[in-house]
């Protein structure tokens, strides 16, 4: 064979040559970029270099009738893989969830401040007398109650100046994480204009804002909550959380800027993006920048954008919580607290009402208990489903199947339940809570018929045919039509049924009954390479394959053929499908033990591997196995054999370990003996000033080792009783009572001797014993002398292990 610069070739190895002689090779001419001929083939140093990718792409190589075209990169460089996207998505979710927790903590701290006695004392000093007098009559009648709140709202409107919006929603893009790394301590928030609310260090600074009479909308609502509590109103601080979204908005292609984009560009500083208002932005900005007193009127106007913090007061006359917006002077107008759809700085997803924290009775200085936070979102939104979707992504099908709960649901349950469990609420408060929950639940159920087509999408009660998914159908066909909208029929959502292919039904343990016609046919889909080829071929022949879909009413439970004479019925692949436990053949047993199939084969027992699922890898579908299926009558025998085999294996393993241990000990001892021999025969010939030689005399290395170890022990503890090797020549100097090897020249280590010796030292020693009954400490030091009268304590002190001997 000749290879003219071929990359597949032939080293001049003799063996290779022999093999090559039997093969029919063909000479081919390689293009210049592969042979290295031409200018780019070798660099000046003579190293082989790669040709430019463009050259490869532009120069198709032709080998007789075969054309090879090297394609460029299939995926654009900036496009993320699915896995990268999943990682990014996970990161965003963690950021979102963390932000939610931090915001709740923030509002809980503020809520606690609103309940402090020192804060309320300052509040009382600023509230005019006539309002205080009016509020004292709040329990007299419904009108007095309402009037007290309205007077307070009016006074507050003139008293407090709004300087900013408070916390708002910001997108991921606005937080440049690279900058965070570099300037974390550089008050970056303020510099980037992301400081939406004032920094209040403690309750003193908080109440100082009341004296300064100005602050953000958030602060206004928080201080107003403190005022209401001061006047004896049962008040909750309500906050609509504005965390960073877990979803990234769709990135638009670069095109001519729209009108709105142009408007955005007009903004001078990032901070102004945080103040969206329906009233002219320019007016608000000018007023705010000037710092004149009228600027805040823009925030307080009834048509101003909705704030994210407000209050709720319990009205005993109507037995309901009523909302109070101190910023816009609104009372009991819950639906006006919902932000407009165009307001992207205020997304209503989770509204929490923080109750007044209880202070433990008789302990004024003690911290208040954790306050209860109730999810009251449904009271303030007409778009409940949208609020839920903004909270958190839906669980995937798999997550639902394995019983996961939404993170936000778990969190809200904890927030609502923790205080319920810990605080001492009277029956009245609990009843009030239950009633509120019922009221909120009914708000969801009694949704009015939507007025737009879009409103029917995902509606829990109603459905339109146009919104049915690919695998959905209205069943039965003669379902009663509830009404019409713009000429389209409205059906009950309960009659929307999901369809599946035969294979999908089998995975759910159901099988399509004989003679059933498919309800719907859709284009078949393929994922595996093999299936794709089949589909493509069918398409080219003009007969595209369609997938047949069936409804649950057309299926019945899957019943596998039974076991006969110990033989397990198998599918075409020699296995048993066991996607659900009900699919187990009658008379069979499922053994979920890995490797038991081998034993069954050895014993001549018929069995089949179990397929419980499929997974996808490299464009192929692979079955997921879990154990085997055998005939029920063989189960006991097989399990017994398995136990025996395991026992045998365990013993074998143990003896192997033991052999290994002996081997290592032998090696160590042999080494020591050789060392000792060398030392004895040649060591003494060394220099006389070698201290070791003089000191140890004829002692072997093993002896020296033991002495050194012994010496170390003496340095650490005068008496060692924990175990190991101890050589004892002097009774008074050492004692070993805890275990291990005791070598005593004069006496055997019987218990009486040990007790006697320990009693000699009793006056001096102490032992560490543990006392599990004592909650305050895990272990206590007992003075042995103090327990002189208790004979049991003597034993315990000895057996405890540590004896300190002053000798």
Partner DNA sequence: GTGCAGTAATCGCCTTTGTGAAAC
Partner DNA sequence: GGTTTCACTTTGGCGATTACTGCA
Q: Does 178 bind DNA (CB under 7 A)?
A: no
- Looking at the chain, the number of H-run helices and the number of E-run strands are 27, 27
Strand partners, 779: 770
What is the distance between the alpha carbons of residues 553 and 567, in angstroms, rounded to a whole number?
33
Q: What is the CA radius of gyration of the chain?
A: 42
Q: Are strands 725-728 and 741-744 parallel, antiparallel or unpaired?
A: parallel
Nearer to DNA, 616 or 741 (CB): 616
Residue of the chain from 99, 106, 520, 531 that contacts DNA (CB under 7 A): 531
Q: Does 397 bind DNA (CB under 7 A)?
A: yes
Residue of the chain from 547, 578, 608, 629 that contacts DNA (CB under 7 A): 547
Which span sits near DNA by CB under 7 A: 51-59, 358-366, 393-401, 628-636? 393-401
Q: How far is the CB of 336 from DNA (least distance, A)?
A: 11
Annotate each residue in 666-705 with x if it binds DNA (CB under 7 A) or - if it does not, as one string.
Answer: ----------------------------------------
Binding to DNA (CB under 7 A) within 552-571 occurs at 571
Q: Does 527 bind DNA (CB under 7 A)?
A: yes
Q: Does 393 bind DNA (CB under 7 A)?
A: yes
Binding to DNA (CB under 7 A) within 308-347 occurs at 340-342, 344
Residue of the chain from 597, 627, 738, 800 that contacts DNA (CB under 7 A): 597
Q: Does 530 bind DNA (CB under 7 A)?
A: yes
Q: How far is CA 274 from CA 187, 251, 484, in A?
A: 18, 21, 43
Question: Residue 378 in contact with residue 444, Cβ under 8 Å?
Answer: yes
Assigned token pair, 12: 């001049």
Nearer to DNA, 424 or 618 (CB): 618
Residue of the chain from 7, 68, 69, 83 that contacts DNA (CB under 7 A): 83
Residue of the chain from 1, 3, 91, 453 that contacts DNA (CB under 7 A): 453
Q: Does 526 bind DNA (CB under 7 A)?
A: yes
Binding to DNA (CB under 7 A) within 480-509 occurs at 486, 501, 503-504, 507
Residue of the chain from 136, 142, 601, 664 that contacts DNA (CB under 7 A): 601
Which position has the token pair 């002053």?
806
DSSP code of residue 568? P
Strand partners, 564: 567
Which span sits near DNA by CB under 7 A: 451-459, 680-688, 732-740, 744-752? 451-459
# chain residues binding DNA, by CB under 7 A: 74
Nearer to DNA, 84 or 730 (CB): 84
Backbone angles phi, psi at 742, to 5 degrees: -115, 125
Residue of the chain from 36, 89, 587, 782 that contacts DNA (CB under 7 A): 89
Residues 490-527: b if buried by 16+ CB within 10 A, e if exposed: bbeeeebbebbbbeebbbebbbbeeeeebbeeeebeee
Residue of the chain from 194, 390, 672, 706 that contacts DNA (CB under 7 A): 390
Task: Report CA 429 to chain centroid distance, whole Å.
Answer: 34
What is the distance between the alpha carbons of residues 165 and 306, in angstroms, rounded to a whole number?
10
Which span sits near DNA by CB under 7 A: 148-156, 449-457, 680-688, 790-798? 449-457
Assigned token pair, 418: 């923790």
Assigned token pair, 101: 């927790």
Binding to DNA (CB under 7 A) within 263-282 occurs at 278
Q: Are strands 320-325 and 330-331 parallel, antiparallel or unpaired?
A: antiparallel
Counting every residue, how long is the chain?
807
What is the distance between the alpha carbons of residues 677 and 426, in angstroms, rounded to a whole number?
87
Binding to DNA (CB under 7 A) within 218-257 occurs at 247-253
The candidate with the shortest Cα–Cα distance to 479, out of 467, 494, 466, is 494
Q: How far is the CB of 251 from DNA (least distance, A)?
A: 5
Q: How far is the CB of 250 from DNA (least distance, A)?
A: 4
Which span sits near DNA by CB under 7 A: 182-190, 463-471, 636-644, 779-787? 463-471
Q: How far is the CB of 799 from DNA (least distance, A)?
A: 44
Annotate each residue in 343-382 with x if it binds DNA (CB under 7 A) or - if it does not, as one string.
Answer: -x--------------------------------------
H helix runs in 700-750, sequence order: 701-716
The CA-CA-CA angle for residues 454, 459, 460, to 5°, reads 180
Which span sits near DNA by CB under 7 A: 36-44, 312-320, 609-617, 758-766? 609-617
What is the distance between the alpha carbons of residues 651 and 654, in angstroms, rounded to a whole number?
5
Nearer to DNA, 503 or 746 (CB): 503
Q: Does 301 bind DNA (CB under 7 A)?
A: no
Assigned token pair, 439: 């009221």
H helix runs in 374-520, sequence order: 377-380, 384-391, 397-401, 407-422, 427-445, 502-507
Q: How far is the CB of 688 from DNA (least distance, A)?
A: 55
The candidate with the shortest Cα–Cα distance to 347, out of 313, 282, 391, is 391
The candidate with the shortest Cα–Cα distance to 785, out of 793, 775, 776, is 793
Which span sits near DNA by CB under 7 A: 46-54, 87-95, 309-317, 794-802? 87-95
The CA-CA-CA angle for residues 272, 338, 410, to 5°, reads 100
Q: How far is the CB of 260 from DNA (least distance, A)?
A: 5
Question: Residue 447 in contact with residue 460, Cβ under 8 Å?
Answer: yes
Question: Residue 330 in contact with residue 300, Cβ under 8 Å?
Answer: no
Q: Does 469 bind DNA (CB under 7 A)?
A: yes
Residue of the chain from 185, 365, 484, 618 that contacts DNA (CB under 7 A): 618
Q: How far is the CB of 576 from DNA (least distance, A)?
A: 9
């Amino acid at each position: 064979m000749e290879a003219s610069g071929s990359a597949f070739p032939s080293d001049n190895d003799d063996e290779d040559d022999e093999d090559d002689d039997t093969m029919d090779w063909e000479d081919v001419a390689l293009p210049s970029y592969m042979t290295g001929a031409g200018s780019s083939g070798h660099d000046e140093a003579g190293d082989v270099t790669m040709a430019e990718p463009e050259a490869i792409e532009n120069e198709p190589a032709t080998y007789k009738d075969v054309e090879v075209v090297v394609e460029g990169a299939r995926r654009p460089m900036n496009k993320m893989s699915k896995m990268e996207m999943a990682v990014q998505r996970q990161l965003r979710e963690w950021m979102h969830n963390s932000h939610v927790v931090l915001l709740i903590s923030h509002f809980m701290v503020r809520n606690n401040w609103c309940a402090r006695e020192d804060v309320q004392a300052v509040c009382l000093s600023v509230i005019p007398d006539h309002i205080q007098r009016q509020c004292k009559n709040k329990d007299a009648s419904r009108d007095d109650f309402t009037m007290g709140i309205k007077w307070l709202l009016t006074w507050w409107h003139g008293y407090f100046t709004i300087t900013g919006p408070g916390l708002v929603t910001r997108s991921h893009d606005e937080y440049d994480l690279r900058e965070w790394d570099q300037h974390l301590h550089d008050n970056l928030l303020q510099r980037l204009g992301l400081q939406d609310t004032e920094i209040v260090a403690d309750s003193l600074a908080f109440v100082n804002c009341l004296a300064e009479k100005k602050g953000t909308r958030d602060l206004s609502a928080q201080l107003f909550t403190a005022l209401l509590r001061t006047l004896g109103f049962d008040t909750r601080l309500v906050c609509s959380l504005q965390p960073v979204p877990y979803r990234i908005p769709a990135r638009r292609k670069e095109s001519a800027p729209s009108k709105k984009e142009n408007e955005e560009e007009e903004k001078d500083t990032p901070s102004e993006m945080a103040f969206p208002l329906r009233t002219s932005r320019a007016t608000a900005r000018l007023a705010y920048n000037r710092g004149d007193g009228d600027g805040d009127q823009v925030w307080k106007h009834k048509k101003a954008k909705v704030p994210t913090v407000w209050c709720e007061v319990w009205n005993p006359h109507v037995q309901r919580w009523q909302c109070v917006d101190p910023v816009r002077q609104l009372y009991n107008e819950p639906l006006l607290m919902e932000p407009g759809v165009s307001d992207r700085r205020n997304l209503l997803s989770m509204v929490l009402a923080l109750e007044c924290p209880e202070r433990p009775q008789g302990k004024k200085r003690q911290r208040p208990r954790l306050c209860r936070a109730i999810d009251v979102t449904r009271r303030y939104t007409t778009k409940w489903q949208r609020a839920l979707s903004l909270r958190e992504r839906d669980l995937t099908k798999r997550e639902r199947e394995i019983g996961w709960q939404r993170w936000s649901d778990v969190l809200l349950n904890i927030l609502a339940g923790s205080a319920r469990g810990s605080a001492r609420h009277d029956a009245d408060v609990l009843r009030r809570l239950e009633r509120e929950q019922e009221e909120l639940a009914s708000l969801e159920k009694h949704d009015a018929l939507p007025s737009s087509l879009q409103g029917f999408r995902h509606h829990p009660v109603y459905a339109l045919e146009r919104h049915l998914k690919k695998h959905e159908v209205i069943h039965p066909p003669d379902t009663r039509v509830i009404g019409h909208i713009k000429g389209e029929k409205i059906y009950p959502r309960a009659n929307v049924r999901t369809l599946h292919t035969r294979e999908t039904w089998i995975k759910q343990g159901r099988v399509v009954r004989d003679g059933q016609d498919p309800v719907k046919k859709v284009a078949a889909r393929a994922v595996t390479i093999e299936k794709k080829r089949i589909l493509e071929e069918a398409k080219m022949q003009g007969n595209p394959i369609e997938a047949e879909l069936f409804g649950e009413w057309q299926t019945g439970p899957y019943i596998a053929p039974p076991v006969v004479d110990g033989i397990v019925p198998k599918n075409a692949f020699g296995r048993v499908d066991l996607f659900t436990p009900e699919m187990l053949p009658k008379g069979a047993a499922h053994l979920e033990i890995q490797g038991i199939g081998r034993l069954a084969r050895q014993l001549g027992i018929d069995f089949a591997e179990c397929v419980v699922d499929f997974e996808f890898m490299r464009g192929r579908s692979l079955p997921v196995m879990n154990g085997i299926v055998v005939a029920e009558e063989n189960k006991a025998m097989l399990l017994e054999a398995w136990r025996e085999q395991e026992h045998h294996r365990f013993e074998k393993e143990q003896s192997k370990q033991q052999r290994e241990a002996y081997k290592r000990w032998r090696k160590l001892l042999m080494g020591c003996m050789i060392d000792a021999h060398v030392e004895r025969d040649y060591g003494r010939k060394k220099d006389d000033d070698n201290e070791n030689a003089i000191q140890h005399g004829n002692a072997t290395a093993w002896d020296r080792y033991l002495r050194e170890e012994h010496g170390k022990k003496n340095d650490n503890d005068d008496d060692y009783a924990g175990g190991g090797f101890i050589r004892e020549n002097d009774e008074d100097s050492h004692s070993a009572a805890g275990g291990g090897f005791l070598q005593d020249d004069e006496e055997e280590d019987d218990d009486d001797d040990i007790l006697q010796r320990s009693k000699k030292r009793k006056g001096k020693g102490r032992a560490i014993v543990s006392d599990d009954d004592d909650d305050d400490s895990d272990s206590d030091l007992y003075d042995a002398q103090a327990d002189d009268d208790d004979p049991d304590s003597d034993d315990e002190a000895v057996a405890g292990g540590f004896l300190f001997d002053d000798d």
